Structure 1
């Protein structure tokens, strides 16, 4: 990879990781449109470490409170408050994507990065996000979450293994269907993503240097810089997105996804870009 590719793709990763538009889909599209070669699933997974560190920093107080409450609740039943149970819901909700990620790791790195699939996923899943926004009651609070909610949102997170779906789009949509308000659905989804993304990034680190199947290779300094850029841009993106959700609907992103997916289909159909 060239340094221009590294910087451009890292900025895109940071900007899109937390928005319901699919960061992996954007990286696959941008790398082929501008550089005529796929950045690769491993590079994507490693740079996601930067954006997840941004989540850790942004939610540091919340995470510290949840971890403290979880350990206290393990030994003293009277201390089992909403934060204690939220810790369990994050643990339980992480299990599905861990299992599916290992089961389909080869497909994720190869066939799933086909631009036809990504474009179609962008458009089709837009309907799911729109339906969640339309039908979601947005009345449930964090104290009302149960293990069933964590399993459902955790299963929804598995859809993000397909580039073009979007991790935040899937988890927020699931949360809205379950009656959560937008901000709670987003926060829970972001917390749920932390263990999964860190595990994926560390697991994919060796392959980022020597990609398995399709994908460009990156040097150690390039991966380090890309991760740092993704952290800075990602921190700004998550702060903006959570403020945005308080006053605005998800329909804005639905329109963007449909427009981008349509443009990619046109580029593919006219032979301007290659699907693989």
Structure 2
């Protein structure tokens, strides 16, 4: 990859990982539409490491409080708000792990195409609009129940399909269940930590087994640009989402889907 491609792809990963517009779709688009070479497994790991570090550093206090509460109260009858939230993150992660093992190969073979991305971008964009427009926006994250967490986790399974957006579908589910926008976003971001960590670990194992040469400078730049863009994205999104709502992202998804369809059929 050229330096320009490294910077663009890393920034795309950092921004789209946490916005409800699908990171996998945007990372596939340059290859589909511009003819760029695939970024490869090593670069994919690097940019996801950058995104993971960004979300973990941003939520470092929440993570420490949840971990401490889970270790001290997680297996007792007297649960705290933080220990329950830690359990709900674990519970909501399980469906995606199970589905990933079952459907990963099928999705890799048949779903990573521009046509699938176009359909899911538009379809799940409209679903996000419906959820946001009809939501009550009243429930806070500290009142989340096990049932709600599991339903959000089941919804997260659809993110295995490129173009769906992991953050988008989990926020959609949260809104439908009555959570306010900021609570939906925060839970979605916390859910991203085990998902990115798990996917990154599997990719790293594949990378270690590979004999292909590694461009460490490209990986370092990719991780750095992904980290900075992801951190800024999380900060700005949480600052603005209660005011602007999901409609701007819905419009973007519809426009992107329309452009993709135009490229496919012309």
- The normalised TM-score by structure 1 is 0.88
Query: For residue 231 of structure 1, what is the aligned residue in structure 2?
Result: 227
Give CA deviations for 1:198-222 in whole Å, capped at 9, x if unaligned: 11012113546899xxxx9963432
Query: For residue 236 of structure 2, what is the aligned residue in structure 1?
Result: 240
Contact 2:43 2:222 in 1 (8 A): no
- Cα distance in structure 1, aligned partners of 2:209 and 2:7: 19
- Cα distance in structure 1, aligned partners of 2:24 and 2:209: 19
Alpha-carbon shift at residue 119 of structure 1 (Å): 0.8
Q: How does 1:110-125 map to 2 (within 5 A)?
A: 110-125=109-124
Query: For residue 273 of structure 1, what is the aligned residue in structure 2?
Result: none
DSSP 3-state at the match of 1:157: helix
Alpha-carbon shift at residue 94 of structure 1 (Å): 0.7
C-alpha change, 1:151 and 1:210, in structure 2 (3 Å) is same
Query: For residue 127 of structure 1, what is the aligned residue in structure 2?
Result: 126
Contact 1:116 1:265 in 2 (8 A): yes
Q: How does 1:1-276 map to 2 (within 5 A)?
A: 1-39=1-39, 43-44=43-44, 46-74=46-74, 77-78=77-78, 80-207=79-206, 219-270=215-266
- Cα distance in structure 1, aligned partners of 2:86 and 2:28: 33
C-alpha change, 1:168 and 1:42, in structure 2 (3 Å) is farther
Alpha-carbon shift at residue 32 of structure 1 (Å): 2.7
- Cα distance in structure 2, aligned partners of 1:218 and 1:7: 17
Alpha-carbon shift at residue 144 of structure 1 (Å): 2.0
- Cα distance in structure 2, aligned partners of 1:111 and 1:41: 19
- Runs of 5+ consecutive residues of structure 1 not aligned to the other structure: 271-276
Aligned length: 265
Contact 1:15 1:234 in 2 (8 A): yes
Give CA deviations for 1:34-71 in whole Å, capped at 9, x if unaligned: 33444467754552221121010001011111111111
- Runs of 5+ consecutive residues of structure 2 not aligned to the other structure: none
C-alpha change, 1:113 and 1:217, in structure 2 (3 Å) is farther
Alpha-carbon shift at residue 165 of structure 1 (Å): 0.7
Alpha-carbon shift at residue 157 of structure 1 (Å): 1.2
C-alpha change, 1:108 and 1:259, in structure 2 (3 Å) is same
